Amino acid sequence: MSAQGFGSERVYPTHDLSPHPGAPLAKDRDMHFVEIPKRPPTISSMYGRIRRQIGAGFGGDGLKAKAFKGGALLGCGSVAEQSARFGRNIILARLLGPEAFGTMAIAISAAAVVNALADVGVAEAVIRHPRGGERAYLNAAWWLALGRGIAIYSAIFVAAPWISRFYSIPELLPLLRITLLSFVFTSAMSPRALLAVKQMDFRRWALITHGGAICGVITTVILGFLTRNVWALAIGYCAEGAFRCVASYIVCPALPSLGCDKGAVWDLLDFSKKLLGSSFLNFVFLRADVFVLAKLYSPTRLGVYIIAVNLIQTPTSFIVGIFNKILLPTYAQVQNDNQRTNKIYVQLASLIVFVGLIVVIVAFTFGRGALGLIYGKRYDIASGPMIAAAFVAVIMLLNNAITNIFYARGVPQWHRLSQIIMATTMIAAIYPLTKWFGLTGGQLACLASMACGFCFQLIRLNQLTALNKSQYRRILFFSTGTSLRRAASLLRARREHAKV
């Protein structure tokens, strides 16, 4: 606005006292322009803003709307599944005891070794490839997945006696051979199940994955009351895969044909070359603590550790699952637009840091009491691993968001380099940290390795999308400060309540 007046009204220049551009203006008694102080947001205004944002997210058929609707559907399904798992753990922790969870953790970890070695990236290839919706391509993907599942089970069946003798737990032999039938069932799911993810039809995928899991959880609880031993966990784990397989043919009916498109097979195998070793390296990061602790401590101590860490890892896993199903197709549709890719990542990262740090502080403050209250007094000794696991979860989610960008851009080998760094750090750190810090050392090793991998991927992301590092740091610092203020308010309220 110029210093000219409108009509007969006199307006005086404000010189260096002018407010920042765009601020609401008024005149003081000397006719100088002054900035109107902003009123603090009220609850009603914040509620209205949230309603408008939700309405904008659900409205329309664009990419943002699809991602928003898909996130809501998967979120509801995941919350239902994880709530069922949480309730199952509360019940079975008292029925079975920690030694059952420790033994089952060894069985699942041993199977994860072979699963990681045999991973060919079928799901990722179908989602990102332009031909992923073709019947011939889906049929080739189904046969590759089934062959992988049978190979995994065969390897575990043969290796079971050696694994059992290594840990001096005879019960592991039959447990492994029954539990890992789940891989065969999961591999035989309907060919069109992955098409639902590619097309962002998350309603069907939620019914298959979360519905099957909840049926398996219910089966496990029933068996827990009937058997009161580790077989409830083993058969329940197997039942989850069976229920998902059946649900996939009900929700996405399709039968594979005997013929196989050679071109599609070679496309799938070519993509899998870029993933070669990635799953195994990821396994080293995720499961090395279980193998080392299983050798150093009894199944009972390992079971206490698993239950405590799962209190953090279970919700983290379901968030990662939602990220993988939503972010990969979302980033794939904007893979040629660096600006939109960076905007999505920065906004997501700020939300992760804001919520994650609050969870870390809550775990630090209430963790020990929560473990004793939920699972029983004998589990509260594992509050240290749980707090460290909360830190790991925050960095893992930040890292996962970058990983999905790499997969969408067709450079999964960059994530593999990050996994090499994480696996190397984990191997070097797990034993000494466990010896020095006990059970907590297992998660401290995970924290060190995840931090190294995240730093590497952030550097690579900057090279790939020209991420504005200064803006990224500002947003993260702002989110950190906001979450710390919220956490400080929580702690003050707790102290005042304790005084009363």
pLDDT of residue 278: 61
Residue 86 has a CB neighbour count (10 Å cut-off) of 16
AA letter at 454: F
- Assigned domain for 322 exists: yes
Same domain, 371 and 414: yes
Question: Which pLDDT belongs to residue 21?
Answer: 45
Number of helices and strands (H, E) in the chain? 18, 2
What is the model's pLDDT at position 282? 67
**Sequence-separated (6 or more) residues with CB below 8 Å from residue 102:** 294, 298, 299, 300, 301, 302, 303, 304, 305, 306
Cβ distance 329 to 127 under 8 Å?
yes
- The answer to whether residue 49 sits within a structural domain is no
Contact 236, 216 (CB under 8 A): yes
52 within domain boundaries: no
In terms of domains, do 326 and 210 share one?
no
pLDDT tens by residue, 334-364: 777 888 888 888 888 888 888 888 888 888 8
Asked if pLDDT for residue 36 goes beyond 60, the answer is no
Mean pLDDT of 121-150: 75
Tell which wins on pLDDT, 95 or 38: 95
- Say whether 221 sits in a helix, a strand or coil: helix
Whether residue 410 is contained in a domain is answered as: yes
Q: Which of 36-45, 247-256, 307-316, 425-434 has the highest mean pLDDT?
A: 425-434
Same structural domain, 358 and 460: yes
DSSP 410: T
In a domain, 248, yes or no: yes
Is the same domain home to 186 and 78?
A: yes
Q: Both 400 and 266 in a single domain?
A: no
Shared domain for 190 and 332, answered yes or no, is no
Kindly tell me the burial class for residue 290, based on how many C-beta atoms sit within 10 Å of its own C-beta (0-12, 13-18, 19 or more).
buried
Q: How many CB atoms lie within 10 A of CB 169?
A: 18
Q: What's the DSSP call for residue 15?
A: G
Does 377 map to a domain?
Answer: yes
pLDDT at residue number 130? 65
Q: How far is CA 273 from the centre of its chain?
A: 24
Decide which of 236 and 267 is more confident.
236
At residue 20 the predicted structure's pLDDT band, cuts being 50, 70 and 90, is very low
Q: Please, is 46 exposed, middle or buried when counting C-beta atoms within 10 Å of its C-beta (0-12, 13-18, 19+)?
A: exposed
Residues 334 and 400 in one domain: yes
CA-CA distance, 218 to 216, in Å (whole number)?
Answer: 5
**Residue range 51-67, pLDDT digits in tens:** 554 455 445 555 556 66
How far is the C-alpha of 251 from the C-alpha of 233, rounded, in Å? 27
Q: Which of 220, 246, 276 is the last residue in one of the domains?
A: 276
Would you say residue 398 lies in a domain? yes
Q: Which long-range contacts (CB under 8 A, 24 or more apart) does 343-350 make?
A: 345/401, 345/402, 345/405, 345/461, 345/465, 345/467, 346/467, 346/471, 346/472, 346/475, 348/401, 349/398, 349/401, 349/472, 349/475, 349/476, 349/479, 350/475, 350/476, 350/478, 350/479
> How much is the pLDDT for 452?
93
Give pLDDT, residue 11.
36
Smallest CA-to-CA distance from 379 within 40, 94, 44 is with 94
Query: How buried is residue 265: exposed, middle or buried, by Cβ count under 10 Å (0-12/13-18/19+)?
Result: middle
Side chain identity at residue 285, one-letter code:
F
Tell me the pLDDT of the chain averaged across its residues: 77
Q: What is the pLDDT of residue 19?
A: 43
For CA atoms 438, 440, 441, 442, give the dihedral sign.
positive
* pLDDT at 297 exceeding the cut of 90: no
Number of domain units in the chain: 3
- Which is more confidently placed, 279 or 1? 279
8 A C-beta contact, residue 69 and residue 58:
yes
Do 248 and 285 lie in a common domain? no
Quote the percentage of the chain above a pLDDT of 70: 75
Residue 318 structural domain: 281-290+297-500
Whether residues 139 and 204 fall in one domain: yes
Judgement on whether residues 316 and 170 belong to the same structural domain of the protein: no
Task: Check whether residue 479 and residue 434 sit in a common domain.
Answer: yes
Residue pair 146/187 in contact (Cβ under 8 Å)? The answer is yes
Question: Residue 133: what pLDDT?
Answer: 65
Considering only residues 386 and 267, tell me which one the structure prediction assigns the higher pLDDT: 386
Residue 170 predicted with pLDDT over 60: yes
* 102-130 confidence digits (pLDDT tens): 888 888 887 777 666 656 666 667 776 66
The answer to whether position 46 is within a domain reads: no
Give the C-alpha separation, 172 to 105, whole Å: 11
- pLDDT bin (cut points 50, 70, 90) of residue 206 is confident
Helix extents (H) in 11-134: 43-58, 63-95, 98-117, 122-128
* pLDDT value of position 6: 34
Question: What pLDDT does 12 receive?
Answer: 34
Percent of the chain with pLDDT over 90: 13
Cα 356 to Cα 185, 220, 479, 486: the distances in Å are 35, 31, 10, 12
Residues 197 and 231 reside in one and the same domain: yes
